[in-house]
């Protein structure tokens, strides 16, 4: 569960108010698109949810953690409850696909048996079972994005945040990726997907949170093209 | 931390040396040069000290006794001398032996001894060697205070020269070694910082998936230790080669014996301590440098998030 109560974030270096008195709540098991123009405050929202940034005022709750009161030493423990897919994938270049995904489990001291079982499973889930020994540089953009998704899923997180996951892949792959995320959401994982692709959002429908100039200007559930067609 | 995680992190440390070989090689070279600079300076100082010590050992004081001192008293004086703090060695030097030595030394002036006949003008004496030449003055005073000692002969100016030389060498060598240590630490710190900075993306990814600082730092610790260890091994081999070559070259031209520096320590007598010093220092500096740079980076990132 994600909840923001009257949250404001001001960047001290520039004085820009990136988020202004934002309140929103995403329940467990929900799938929400976060849309908005560049500079609207979407990245700030993600940084806030990952505890890479602190709010100047308001309260932030993620997966049962009160981020406004979370101590520094507890941050790694909190981050393990979230899976994140970044637009630039953020894979470790010197690790193979298998190692990149397994790394998350090694961080939590998972038993080797669990690693050997879980990593091939998530690789097959995203269709990368034949690329286990490849390095990120040997993968296409779509494959790298799927690897990043597998890494985000391997720990079975309660919340998955996808920051522009379709930004660097072609439209066909982008639609496939969202369908994959919907499948994961159907298994109970809460998903928050930040995107620019308004057309794609209209196609899928669902809960849309529109941020503009640091404020939530639209937060409703709309029917997608698929829903309307039915 | 589980044993399997420990093994994984150690393995990551070894893997990372190869995967980041350019920066690892840069760190290795900087550590190697730093170790050689400091190590060679220390060896130079140790040898200068050994040479001065050798010269000091040859330094002898002669304690002349009053004419007619009885045998029993001579023996007592010998015991008194042996019980003194700064005395390393005491040898009785009877007047007969001294007379024979003097005759041998002044063989070109035989007429002087012919006029003396069998009269031996020399007194009985003791030859003593001191432990610490810098305390020579106090030892001489204590010796002169012994009853039935007529006078004490010591090469004062030479003693002063040696003491002064040792003092200057110690000050200069210490200053050079400290300066080199500081320069080395600055260079090593900058190199390890550059190495960590080149992997800031990797570190940020680790943090975003919930890795603790300890988990991130440990492979860097192992990497630094491996680099430092290798630098220590190479520094030992290079020093060994250079040291033996230099001593061999000096010996070939009789330089050492000509200037009386026969006390240079052979490398085979110090190779164990030199190896341990190089390897342990290298591994420690490498490991601590890496961990410190990683910690500074993590702290900086935390402050700028």
Q: Concatenated DSSP letters for B81-134?
A: HHTSTTEEEEEEE-HHHHHHHHHHHTGGGHHHHHHHTT---PPPEEEEEES-GG
| pLDDT per residue of chain B (305 residues) written in tens, 0 to 9 | 677 778 888 888 888 888 888 888 888 898 898 899 889 888 888 888 787 777 766 678 889 999 888 889 999 999 999 999 888 889 999 988 888 888 887 777 777 777 777 788 889 999 998 888 778 888 888 998 999 998 888 766 666 777 777 788 888 888 888 888 788 777 777 777 777 787 888 888 888 888 888 888 898 899 889 999 999 999 999 999 999 888 888 777 666 655 555 677 888 889 999 999 999 999 998 888 888 888 888 877 665 55
User: Is the minimum CB–CB distance between A70 and chain B shorter than 8 Å?
Assistant: no
Q: Bin A15: left if φ > 0, else alpha if -120 < ψ < 50, else beta.
A: left
Distance (Å, rounded) from C-alpha A152 to C-alpha A159? 10
Please report the number of interchain residue pairs, chain A to chain B, with beta-carbon separation below 8 angstroms: 54
Three-state secondary-structure class, residue A62: strand
Closest residue, chain B, to A75 (C-alpha): B210
- The CA-atom distances, in angstroms, between B75 and each of B61, B128, B273, B277 are 18, 14, 44, 48
Tell which B residues from 264 to 303 touch A, by Cβ distance under 8 Å. Answer: 302
Complex prediction ipTM: 0.79
Whether A107 sits inside 8 A of B211 (CB atoms) is yes
Query: Under a CB-based contact definition with an 8 Å cutoff, are residues A54 and B302 in contact?
Result: no
Q: How many CB atoms are located within 10 Å of the residue B231 CB?
A: 28
Whether B209 sits inside 8 A of A92 (CB atoms) is no
- From chain A, pick out residues whose CB is under 8 angstroms from the CB of B5: 106, 109
Whether B208 sits inside 8 A of A94 (CB atoms) is no
Whether B208 sits inside 8 A of A47 (CB atoms) is no
User: Is the minimum CB–CB distance between B2 and chain A shorter than 8 Å?
Assistant: yes
Distance (Å, rounded) from C-alpha A114 to C-alpha A28? 26
Whether A79 sits inside 8 A of B208 (CB atoms) is yes
Domains, chain A, ordered by start: 2-81+157-229 (3.40.50.300), 91-156 (no CATH)
- The CA-atom distances, in angstroms, between B17 and each of A94, A134, B69, B225 are 11, 20, 78, 10
B90-121 pLDDT per residue, tens:
999 998 888 888 888 777 777 777 777 778 88
Nearest alpha carbon to residue B146 among B82, B92, B71, B59: B82
| pTM of the predicted structure, to 2 decimals | 0.69
- The CA-atom distances, in angstroms, between B109 and each of B102, B104, B117, B120, B124 are 11, 10, 14, 16, 23
Distance (Å, rounded) from C-alpha B89 to C-alpha A107? 67
Domains, chain B, ordered by start: 3-56+161-304 (no CATH), 60-154 (3.30.70.3040)
In terms of Cβ atoms closer than 10 Å to its own Cβ (0-12, 13-18, 19+), residue B212 is middle
**To the nearest whole number, what is the mean pLDDT of chain A?**
89
């Amino acid at each position: 569960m994600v909840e923001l109560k009257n949250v404001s974030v001001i960047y001290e270096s520039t004085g820009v108010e990136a988020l202004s008195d934002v309140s929103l709540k995403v329940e467990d098991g929900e799938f929400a698109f976060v849309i908005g123009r560049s500079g609207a405050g979407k990245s700030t929202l993600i940084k806030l949810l990952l505890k890479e940034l602190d709010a100047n005022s308001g309260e932030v709750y993620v997966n049962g953690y009160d981020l406004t009161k979370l101590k520094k030493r507890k941050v790694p423990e909190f981050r393990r409850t979230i899976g994140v897919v970044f637009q630039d994938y953020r894979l470790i270049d010197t690790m193979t696909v298998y190692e990149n995904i397994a790394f998350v489990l090694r961080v939590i001291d998972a038993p080797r048996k669990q690693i050997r079982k879980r990593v091939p499973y998530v690789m097959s889930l995203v269709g990368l079972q034949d690329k286990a020994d490849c390095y990120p540089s040997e993968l296409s953009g779509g494959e790298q994005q799927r690897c990043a998704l597998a890494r985000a899923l391997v720990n079975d997180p309660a919340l998955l945040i996808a920051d522009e996951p379709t930004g660097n892949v072609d439209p066909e792959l982008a639609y496939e990726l969202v369908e994959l995320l919907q499948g994961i959401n159907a298994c109970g994982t809460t998903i928050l997907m930040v995107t620019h692709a308004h057309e794609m959002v209209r196609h899928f429908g669902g809960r849309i949170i529109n941020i503009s100039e640091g404020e939530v200007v639209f937060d409703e559930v709309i029917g997608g093209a698929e829903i309307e067609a039915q | 931390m589980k044993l399997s995680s420990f093994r994984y992190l150690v393995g990551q440390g070894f893997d990372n040396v190869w995967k980041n070989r350019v920066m690892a090689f840069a760190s290795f070279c900087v550590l190697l040069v730093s170790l050689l600079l400091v190590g060679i300076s220390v060896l130079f100082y140790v040898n200068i000290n050994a040479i001065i010590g050798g010269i000091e050992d040859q330094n002898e004081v002669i304690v002349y006794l009053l004419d007619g001192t009885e045998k029993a008293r001579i023996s007592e004086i010998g015991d008194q001398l042996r019980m003194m703090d700064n005395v390393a060695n005491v040898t009785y030097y009877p007047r007969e032996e001294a007379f024979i030595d003097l005759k041998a030394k002044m063989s070109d002036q035989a007429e002087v001894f012919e006029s003396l006949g069998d009269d031996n003008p020399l007194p009985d004496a003791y030859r003593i060697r001191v432990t610490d030449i810098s305390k020579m003055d106090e030892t001489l005073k204590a010796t002169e205070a012994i009853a039935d000692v007529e006078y004490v002969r010591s090469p004062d100016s030479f003693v002063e020269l040696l003491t002064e030389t040792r003092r200057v060498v110690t000050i200069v060598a210490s200053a050079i070694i400290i300066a080199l240590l500081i320069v080395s630490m600055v260079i090593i710190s900058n190199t390890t910082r550059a190495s960590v900075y080149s992997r800031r993306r990797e570190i940020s990814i680790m943090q975003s998936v919930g890795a603790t600082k300890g988990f991130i730092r440990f492979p860097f610790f192992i990497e630094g230790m491996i680099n430092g260890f290798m630098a220590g091994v190479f520094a030992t081999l290079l020093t060994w080669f250079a040291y033996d070559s230099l001593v061999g070259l000096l010996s070939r031209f009789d330089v050492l014996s000509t200037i009386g520096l026969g006390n240079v320590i052979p490398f085979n007598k110090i190779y164990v301590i030199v190896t341990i010093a190089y390897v342990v220092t290298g591994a420690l500096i490498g490991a601590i440098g890496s961990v410190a740079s990683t910690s500074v980076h993590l702290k900086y990132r935390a402050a700028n998030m």
